[in-house]
Structure 1
Amino acid sequence: MTKLVVGIFGHKTDASMAIQDLRDSGIRTKRISVLAKEKSTVSELSHGTGIAKPKEGPGSIGLFGTMKGIAIGLNMLPDTAVAAGPAAPRLAGAEFGNDPGEDGIAVGLIGIGIPKEDAEAYEKHVDIGHVIVIVTLEPEEKGKASELGKLFDSHNAIPLDSA
């Protein structure tokens, strides 16, 4: 069973430096995911670190994307997440908010293996503008989890319970 190591960052620069250090420690970019509220944040991280290109979910580009953006700005639609990496198919386009609908960020995080209580806390962090970095470790690499946690901490990772 794979293990997930998750870091929360208050600024994209901290997340970028953490991703660079992950790469320097031998973690391949195809095993690193990023989740944020702002497309520009995920785009910059993707371009600057070599992780996968961001995904926004359906209806986020062209005329429909423009209309969706306006509707979100007018609070007619809930805001949605932008994600990159292997977790992106489950997280891109997930909605923020208190409605526990099937398209929520917490539900997507649960779908990739994060416990419900933690997933709800991560959603709050993303909603206030923090960047979530998720690393997937193979079963034989479980011993690296502590090392990666320290790596995240060295780049100003935010505690989960601080949102």
Structure 2
Amino acid sequence: MTMWLERKEKVAHHDHYIQRRLEGAVRPSTFELITIRHPPVLVPHHELLMTRHASAVSVPFDQLSSAYGAKDFEYCLGEYIAKAQAPDHHFTAASLRVAIDRVVRFVPFYKVAVYHRIKFTEHDPYSTTRSAEFIADAIHAEPKRKDKYGQPVPG
């Protein structure tokens, strides 16, 4: 395992060297490397990583609340759309309710794609390579179902 890791590091270093030579950049000094590199932040930046295709292509709004437990999905979607349409507007509770009702009434769809697995990746702040990412968090959300014996399996 260590030999494989050493080889992978050597290949990464060589790839970095070739890229630097192709760009025509001179090798920075150690002092420049230290001053250029930013210190690690307390709350690192997470990047969303999802599958290319949805787990369930078209799930109706009413099935979202019954199978997935996403109560008030239409209301939350309407709130998101209303606030996205007017980002500078400060809504009162009554005006937000009116805007949500107006938006929900004219939403041109009643089904959405559902992803059962979502991953958040994070870059290692102490690594020297850009490709040093690891999975910081993962979300698994599946609907309840029945197994082959007819017993309920919670989601």
TM-score bucket (shorter structure)? under 0.3
- Taking structure 1 as the reference length, the TM-score comes to 0.25
Structure number with greater CO (CA < 8 Å, separation at least 6) is 1
Q: Give the structure with higher Rg (CA).
A: 2
- Taking structure 2 as the reference length, the TM-score comes to 0.26
Q: Which has the higher strand share?
A: 2
